[in-house]
Structure 1
Amino acid sequence: MKMFFRLFLVTAAATLNLMAQTPAELRKERDKLIERGMWRDAVNFHAEKLLPISDDVSGSDLDKAVTALGQLDAWKEFDALLERAVATHPANTALLTSVADLYLSCPHYGRIVAGEFERSGGYRSFRGRPQAAGDQPEPAVGQDVATTYRDRVRALQLMVQATEKAQIDREKIRVWSVMAGVLRQPSEAWKLQTLTPLEVLPEWGEPGPDGGTEGAPWAGDAPVLYQPPASWQVARNDGERWRFALAEQVRLAKLINDPSQEVATIMDRAAFSLSQFGTQTLASYGWWRQQDPENMKGILEMDTLTEDECIAKTSDGVRRFKLPADQHFIALYRSVLEDKSYGGNAGDSLVRIFLNRNQADKAREVLERTIELHGPGPNDQRKDLLQQIIGDWGRFEPAETVPAGVKPQVPLVFRNATAISLTAAPVDME
């Protein structure tokens, strides 16, 4: 009886000690498991001790659990882990945004086995493909599928849920900021023309919108541009959804007197516009095929562009066109040049833009103003770049060897110089 009583006391004490652990203490215990490489224990610890906790760090907890799964190459457990977290805390916006991000960054591969989906660590984990030298191919079981489209749709569904559950304005701003990033898809901006259906998840392996363009989308005689709609529900495409997400950040920020948020969204819009309509889009155009004269003419005339004009590679070929100020990267960057937080980056972007346009005078003007407002930059980078623009510079280009008696030609590339002094001397070749 005494032994039983002592055992009861020990068990009760251990239970009370566990109940007394704070979330911070539990997370330290989890971190120790991770530091020691005890990945399976870390996953189990999350499921048993940390999953019931709902706070601002819950999303980070899930991130670490997924990291442990990755170390174990146990991606088949990934989807169940995430959906269990969402079901447990459907109103935790920090968790919902983390789950959305995890769906976007996870391996988008798997297989259907007996009607059930099993995610795998990547393309090389598909059946019949060895994962490392000496490995034997797995038995040919199930149907291989790619999940990129479905994972993105699920991420958007979770972000919509987060916008509906967010309570305070600062929280709502953060959620809409993440939403804008999910919608943006920098490498596949053409998909902004489509409206992703969010009511039902696609089937495993469904590819989603197919196609793409060789440049910024073009319709009729003008580029495709996106304006903010009156509401999320009436958006006609994902581009308008993206603009609405940005507009919501600005609207909510005004309610809490935070002017920096509007500047941040202007920087986002400028970066997007530049990615679509900047002269750098010409760099890869036709590198594998001969340029036609009109395209070459456009490239050679970049220095004649006015600030409301663009020359860009579009889905309709190389085009020279104008953009309204609220869509043009130069006007957008100029509008925030004096902002203390973002003005330096805006100025640096403008300098690169004008240099790419072969407009050194405008680059110098913006660079001098940026230095005046925001300093010479890290390690005097802006100051050094200014000297590159206004200094006297020259270099010799490769020249052909010519036989004796033939007058040689030595190409010289120079900047800001009006004269040059050269000394020629014979070279003793013996």
Structure 2
Amino acid sequence: MRSIIPLILTFFAFSLICNAEEQSLNDARKKANKLQKDGNWKEAYEAYEGLLMGEGNSGSNAAGDLQNAWRCLNRTGQIQDIDKFLESVTEKYPDDWRILASAAKIYMGMQHMGYLISGEFKRGHHRGGGKYVNAYERDRVKSLALMEQAMKSSEGEEDKAALGNFYLEFANSIRSNRGSSESWRLQNLTNFKEIPDFQDGGYYGARNVGTPVNEDGSPVLYALPSAWNEAKNDGERWRFLLTEAGEISPALAGNAKYQWISFLRNQFGVQTMQQWGFGGFFGQRSPDQGKKNESGTYELHTLKENETIARLATGVKRITLPDEHNHITQLQQVAEIEDKTLAERATNDLASIFENRRQYPEAAKYWQKSIEKFGPGGKNKWKVDRLNQILDNWGRFDGTQTHPAGEKPSLGFVFRNGEEVKFEAFTIDVRKLLDDVKSHLKSNPSQIDNRQVNIGNIGYSLINDQMKKYVGESIADWELRLEPRKNHWDKRIDIVTPLTKPGAYLLKAKMTKGNTSNIIVWVSDTAIVKKPLDQKSFYFVGDALNGTPIEKANVEFFGYRVEYLKRNKILQPKRRYNVITKQFAEFTDEEGQIILGADRMPNQMQWLITATTDDGRFAYHGFSGVWYNRIHDQTYNTTKAIFITDRPVYRPNQEVNFKAWVRHSQYDKEDKSQFAGKEFNILINNPKGEKIYEKQLKADQYGGFTDKIALPENATLGVYRINILHQGRHMAHGGNTFRESRNTKNLNLK
């Protein structure tokens, strides 16, 4: 018994010491927190630094102290000191995974730009010289090295939620700046022990060149390695970390899986075609002389769920995806999990994906499923609207232009699902509308009614507000039977209207058990043409059908401008400006012309122009501004050079063949180059601007010449530029570029 008592006393004393140390740390931390809250950044930083470099601190509290220290240091503007501070902290806590992870997070979030001054890197802005450099990749590798160190030190951690979040942060750092446009970088296996050098200038993201491919043209797929050290590239490392995060903390499994799904959709979704000029899923079918185009947008509806048409680095291609790399299959799995938030998101994403694939029955199925399981989409029921867009009867006019009088206007009409549409046409009193606009402006209103003045938006105004009063009587109505396409696809037809008399008409189309669409149809017998001249404005009034000049047309010019006042709060508290107007009229000459200058039409005004004749013709133009510029027609004798190469992309050790032609771009000369037999100095520069080729070449009778150059094995990657000089000067405007690449999956190497 006596031997146990000393042990108990020793343990009790040790506990008192530990509690005292912990209380001391807590008191110091409260003091540092108050200094930070009060904005005493320098003193707060020193307090947090003392906590971290002292004894007894560790774990999540120390990690929080490190984050606060960084915030305070950043507020003092002394971010150049952060590197040494982080190095000292990580050296002191080499086995504390939370502190290592906190330091890694700071490396990823700090300012990456700085200056090299006498060989030393100064982070952040700097006055007075130095070389501007970018340390992003350098900071990224330092961050990843610390995270790997933290991962190894975290073995045995019992706080699975915190550990799972760390793995997710590690995964995000692996993929940093390796998003959609630079996903090809994930093929590299970053060496955490080799810190990259500084890069010149800022960081510039690359343009999207498509999903990277292997040598055989198949897309690059990242496998799930069995262990961290088994990963062959950063893409596999990223997958491993996402999977581990979900296994360590099941609450994060859905989030981790969705990151993988988003990546797959970004790489292989059919929407990738839009990023390369293959958008417009309802565009015209590309002519192929009857051959089946398996990669065309019109073939989207033929895709199976394990197929896609995506933009790869080598072009748009139809491919088959394994389940683990198929975003549709992965989303279908998430749609069935218990997490309602993720399940609803997955179901909605599936509906959108099938809409993009023009597989509307399948899209409707998923919208219905989402509505039944998760609701209609809040108060505005947006999911119901999306479903109705597929299933309901819809029709709309497909744009129009002014039609000549005497002919029946033909309009485009696009519809889906419906089998019948009813049309009705109403007259519009345009003259009264324009007269009311002028009267409104002449009254010098304290507030201009933009809805009334904006006559360019007349169609919307006639339907939705007080301008309905300009809509007259119904003059025509008729019905049309429709033959809709299958699968809820759109169909476009041309409809012929009976509106042959000059004027403006409001035409309504009502789909049976569907929507109503409206359009303004302009039928014109007269046109006004405006053209700028040298210090003048030219107006022509002619027949809308054949362009015959109209003599003695009464052309009325109405202009207005706003003149802002100095605010007089006592006399005119609500008026901010005056509306100044000007109005005059001219008759066209025998050629239907009127030419005016700034003395009649000031360029500070917006002008509405109307033309009328005694026999009932009417046309208007505006509101529009006028500009009086000096116009000089150029002399067409510029020297031009045209280059072509035998291919756009080359590899090392390949031969570049090029041809060029030089001549004046004159249209009054015979088909003979003025540079036949002349000598030219040809220069080729590599992406570094270094001259790799210079040669005197003699032009043939067509002003052309040809030559070749062999690329060395160590040729610089990127874009090479060809230039031409004649008699020591850059006389020819033109040139060409070609690209050198070592790997077909990385074509964008500017």
| Structure-1-length-normalised TM-score | 0.81
1:197 counterpart residue number: 191
Q: Which residue of 1 aligns with 2:310?
A: 312
Amino acid at match of 1:280: Q
What displacement does 1:203 show? Answer: 2.9
Native 8 Å contact 1:108 1:146 kept in 2 = yes
Whole-angstrom distance in 1 between the partners of 2:414 and 2:88: 64
- Is residue 115–residue 122 contact of structure 2 (8 Å, CA) maintained in 1? yes
Residue 354 of structure 1: how far off its partner (Å): 1.5
Q: Does structure 2 retain, via aligned residues, the 8 Å contact 1:111–1:118?
A: yes
Residues 414/230 of structure 1: CA separation in 2 closer, same or farther (3 Å cut): same
Q: Does 1:366 align with 2:360?
A: no
Cα drift, residue 160 of structure 1:
0.5
Instruction: Please list the CA deviations of residues 156-177 of structure 1 after superposition, one character each: whole Å capped at 9, or x if unmatched.
Output: 1011011101132615433322
Check if 1:48 corresponds to 2:47. Answer: no
Q: For residues 227 and 287 of structure 1, do their structure 2 counterparts lie closer, same or farther at Cα, with a shift above 3 Å needed?
A: closer
The alpha-carbon distance between structure 1 residues 225 and 72, as it changes in their structure 2 partners (threshold 3 A), is: same
What corresponds to 1:246 in structure 2? 242
C-alpha distance in 1 between matches for 2:79 and 2:278: 40
Q: What does residue range 320-339 of structure 1 map to in structure 2 within 5 Å?
A: 320-339=318-337
- The equivalent residue for 2:268 is 277
Q: Counterparts of 1:101-112 in structure 2 under 5 Å?
A: 101-112=105-116
**Secondary structure of 2:310 counterpart:** strand
User: Residues of 1 paired with 2:367 and 2:194: CA distance?
Assistant: 50
Question: What residue in structure 2 maps to residue 134 of structure 1?
Answer: none
What letter matches 1:338 in structure 2?
E
Evaluate the alpha carbon distance shift between residue 84 and residue 349 of structure 1 in structure 2; reply closer, same or farther with a 3 A threshold: farther
Partner of 2:4: none
Q: 1:192 to 1:405 in 2, by over 3 A?
A: same
Change (3 A) 1:46 1:312: same
Deviation by residue 1:307-351 (Cα, 9 ceiling, x = unmatched): 111111111111111101111000000011121322111112212
Whether the 8 Å contact between 1:397 and 1:411 is mirrored in structure 2 is yes
Q: Which amino acid aligns with 1:196?
A: T
Aligned pair 1:168/2:139, yes or no? no
Corresponding residue of 2:172: 181
| Residue 147 of structure 1: aligned partner | 135
2:414 match: 413
Q: Deviations over 1:91-141 (max 9, x none)?
A: 332332232222222221112223322111xxxx3x6xxxxxxxxxx222x
Cα 1:262/1:20, change in 2 over 3 Å: closer
Q: Measured at CA, do residues 95 and 280 of structure 1 come closer, stay the same or move farther in structure 2, by a change above 3 Å?
A: farther
The residue that corresponds to 1:299 in the other structure is 297
Q: How does 1:9-20 map to 2 (within 5 A)?
A: 20=23
Bigger shift: residues 374-383 or 264-273:
374-383
Of residues 91, 94, 113, the one that matches 2:98 is 94
Q: Distance in 1 between matches of 2:272 and 2:95?
A: 42
Letter of the aligned partner of 1:204 in structure 2? Answer: F
Q: Percent identity?
A: 32
3-state secondary structure, aligned to 1:111:
strand
Q: Quote how far apart the aligned CAs of 1:22 are.
A: 5.3
Displacement, 1:296?
11
Shift in Å at residue 213 of structure 1?
6.1
Q: Mark the CA change 1:206 to 1:427 in structure 2 (over 3 Å): closer, same or farther.
A: closer
Contact preservation (8 Å) 1:26, 1:50: no
Question: Is the Cα–Cα contact under 8 Å of residues 25 and 51 in structure 2 kept in the other structure?
Answer: no
Aligned to 1:402: 403
Question: Cα–Cα, structure 1 residues 421 and 296, in superposed 2: closer, same or farther, change >3 Å?
Answer: farther
Instruction: Give deviations 1:255-279, integer Å, cap 9, x for gaps.
Output: xxx4x44444332221110011112
Q: Would you say the 8 A contact 2:371–2:383 is kept in 1?
A: yes
The alignment partner of 1:56 has SS state of helix
The structure-2 alpha-carbon separation of the partners of 1:243 and 1:303, relative to structure 1 and needing over 3 Å to count, comes to same
Amino acid at match of 1:224: V
Query: Which residue does the alignment assign to 1:67?
Result: 71
Aligned partners of 2:115 and 2:132 also within 8 Å:
yes
**CA 1:411 to 1:100, structure 2 compared with 1: closer, same or farther past 3 Å?**
farther
Query: Given the alignment of the two structures, is residue 83 of structure 1 paired with residue 72 of structure 2, yes or no?
Result: no
Contact 2:135/2:199 (CA < 8 Å) preserved in 1? yes
Q: Which residue of 2 aligns with 1:348?
A: 348
Q: Considering only CA atoms, is the larger Rg found in Structure 1 or Structure 2?
A: 2
Measured in 2, the distance between the counterparts of 1:297 and 1:402 equals 39
Q: Which has the higher contact order (CA 8 A, sep 6+)?
A: 1
Q: 1:165 to 1:394 in 2, by over 3 A?
A: same
Residue 158 of structure 1 aligns with which residue? 146
2:736 alignment counterpart: none
Distance 1:57 1:361 in 2: 55
Higher strand share: 2
CA RMSD of aligned residues (A): 3.2
- Larger deviation, residues 27-36 vs 321-330: 27-36
8 Å CA contact retained: 1:343, 1:374: no
How far apart in 1 are the matches of 2:360 and 2:333? 21
Deviations 1:245-298 (A, max 9, x none): 233335545xxxx4x44444332221110011112212221489xx98789962
Task: Using the TM superposition, give the Cα deviation of residue 381 of structure 1 relative to its aligned residue in structure 2, in angstroms.
Answer: 3.5
Does the aligned pair in 2 maintain the 1:46–1:61 contact within 8 Å?
yes
Unaligned runs of 5+ in 2: 1-19, 432-750
Indicate the residue corresponding to 1:218 in structure 2: 213
8 Å contact from structure 1 (residues 57, 94) kept in 2: no
Cα distance between partner residues in 1 of 2:263 and 2:197: 31
When residues 28 and 344 of structure 1 are mapped into structure 2, their CA distance, relative to the original with a 3 A threshold, is farther
Q: Larger deviation: 346-355 or 56-65?
A: 56-65
What SS class does the counterpart of residue 59 from structure 2 fall into? coil
Change (3 A) 1:286 1:391: closer
Q: Which moved more, 1:164-173 or 1:400-409?
A: 164-173
Q: Normalised by the size of structure 2, how large is the TM-score?
A: 0.48
Task: Output the CA distance in 2 between the equivalents of 1:27 and 1:237.
Answer: 42
Q: Which amino acid aligns with 2:376?
A: P
Q: Secondary structure at the match of 1:306?
A: coil
